[in-house]
Amino acid sequence: MLRLKEYKANFHHHEIPDELAQLVAFQNSLGTLPFCRGFGLALDDRALMRPISEKREFLDALCPLGKANSANAVYAIWARDGEKQVGACPVLAFDGEGSVHVVTENLLQLMRLLTLDTEPLIDQESILFLKDESEAASPGATSYAEWLEKHLHQRPVVGAAEVELLVRSAQRLLEKPLHNWLKHFRT
């Protein structure tokens, strides 16, 4: 069980978005059942972000959400320009080997993306969300999609093509600002 009080430490001086607090409660209600393949909210010490930079300014701008896949990649909110409403900030994926990619424009888009119930494939060049239709759904996937629509009024994604559009749109908008920001920190 993930304790919200402890999870808030991932957010430094930022307020945890209400949608995320609700997601913590939802995840806890499932016990150990996953609702999206490879994903899970978790406490994080920013270890996978440190290969890029140990600078406080860099680490303080990142609010880890949790596991992105079973290969130990993580999602984190990028609190751009000191933005206090972190739920409106972009979500990034870190693979621990120095790769970082824009995933979505904001937290709610990521929460919709999770309804695809697939793990992202992450390498130096890209992040891909491929759905293998022959795989059984995660045990909590249907409950999650219903919860998301009922409690946050967000419809599930229709398929991998919609996820691809969400991700590519966010990348077109944010890749250049991200790389410009990272230039200040990469060694």
**Contact at 8 Å (CB) between 118 and 133?**
no
Beta-strand pair 62-67/74-78: antiparallel
pLDDT tens track for 42-64 = 998 898 899 899 999 999 999 99
* Tokens 């206090």 -> residue: 84
Decide if 94 contacts 100 (C-beta within 8 A): yes
Q: Which residues of the chain have pLDDT under 50?
A: none
Instruction: Calculate the alpha carbon distances from 140 to 10, 21, 24, 40, 72 in Å.
Output: 24, 18, 14, 12, 21
List phi, psi (to 5°) of 161: -65, -40
Rounded to two decimals, the pTM is 0.96
> What pLDDT, on a 0 to 100 scale, did the predictor assign at position 84?
77
